[in-house]
Amino acid sequence: MIKKLENGDLEISALEIKDVIDIKLLQTFQDNFATGMNIASVTVDKNGQPVTRPSCYTSFCMDFTHSTKIGDDRCAISHKKAGEEAARTRRPYVFTCHAGLIDFAAPILVNGHLIGTILGGQILTSAPVEDKFRKTASEIGVDADKYVAAAKKVYMTNQENVQAAAEVLFIIANALSKMGYEQLKLSNMSQTLSDNFSQISATMEELSAASSNVTTNQHNLSDEIVNVKEISIEINSILDSIKIIADKTKMLGLNAAIEAARAGEAGRGFGVVATEIRTLSQNSKETALKIMDLTKKIQDSVDKTIETSNETLQTTEQQTAAIQDITSNLLELTSLADELNTMANHK
């Protein structure tokens, strides 16, 4: 089972044979090797459970030894002990099974961790001793004559060939497991790389969108600032008109005062009104001048704001373009990471 540690690395202790070796490929290799060497073989996981079909099993084992529960249990115990010894030494282990045949166990390792074992053998290195096989037949509950006859059909070779066969299986199986593990690490790294690039790309897209919004808002702000300036100019124009009206009103008030003086007692009331008009026009003019001074300051401030806004707008536009370029590059890197991940997972 493929598991990841908190740092993203693979948890080796959880790996199984199927995680690093193509079982179909292993089965084909095992079948061809067993046929070519005339040696039985099967691959089991770290718990002793078969992951491949038995290859070239002898009639002695299949039809007799494994035909009874006692014989089957004895084989399981024998294989378990051999597997443990192979795991302990991390080397192929050749042994004589409980029934008297020569077997071997070749551990399959990943960075020193046992993930399975190739069990093989079911051969003899010398002619079978009938008494031993008859005794075993009696213990497991099979016909002794047929058992001996089956033993005589077992393939016989020398000890060196058995050891060499075990070494070959060990070397090839572990080469496959190492390649598979490296490919699995590459796939894991590629996936992590792809996920990270995708996350960065998504973040950059958000930043790009936000930057575009900032640019748009900056454009709108600049437009509004220009509108404020235009309104300020219009206010000044109106104030100019007010000042002119105030000046004319003041002149009218002055003329009215002169006429009231000429009228004597009859024009006294009109003279008071004329004075108030002159005062009002003077106040209006002074107020208009003050407002014009303020609007002038507003215009100066708006001009500076527009200048700053234009600089900010230029900067945000440059930032937006840069972010879009980065986003484009990240998308390309993400595509490359996905392609790398696909290649890593291709078997």
How many angstroms separate the CA atoms of 121 and 330, rounded?
55
**Residue 29, domain member (yes or no):** yes
Query: What is the tally of structural domains in the chain?
Result: 2
Residue 302, domain CATH: 1.10.287.950
Domain shared by 27 and 139, yes or no: yes
Task: Locate 72 and state its tokens.
Answer: 């089957």
**Residue 174, domain member (yes or no):** no
Residue 108, domain CATH: 3.30.450
**Residue 259, domain member (yes or no):** yes
**Residue 223, domain member (yes or no):** yes
How many angstroms separate the CA atoms of 81 and 50, rounded?
16
Domain shared by 231 and 123, yes or no: no
How many angstroms separate the CA atoms of 56 and 70, rounded?
22
Domain shared by 205 and 270, yes or no: yes
Domain extent for 326: 194-345
**Residue 150, domain member (yes or no):** yes
pTM for the full model?
0.61
Domain shared by 221 and 108, yes or no: no
Identify which of 71-85, 264-278, 280-294, 318-332 has the greatest average pLDDT. Answer: 71-85
Q: If pLDDT is split at 50, 70 and 90, which confidence band does 252 have? A: low
**Residue 104, domain member (yes or no):** yes
Domain shared by 201 and 144, yes or no: no
Task: Locate 262 and state its tokens.
Answer: 């000429």
Maximum alpha-carbon separation in the chain = 165
Residues 258-283: tens digit of each pLDDT: 765 666 665 555 555 556 565 756 66
**Residue 123, domain member (yes or no):** yes
Domain shared by 276 and 335, yes or no: yes
Identify which of 9-23, 136-150, 180-194, 321-335 has the greatest average pLDDT. Answer: 136-150
**Residue 173, domain member (yes or no):** no
Domain shared by 150 and 258, yes or no: no
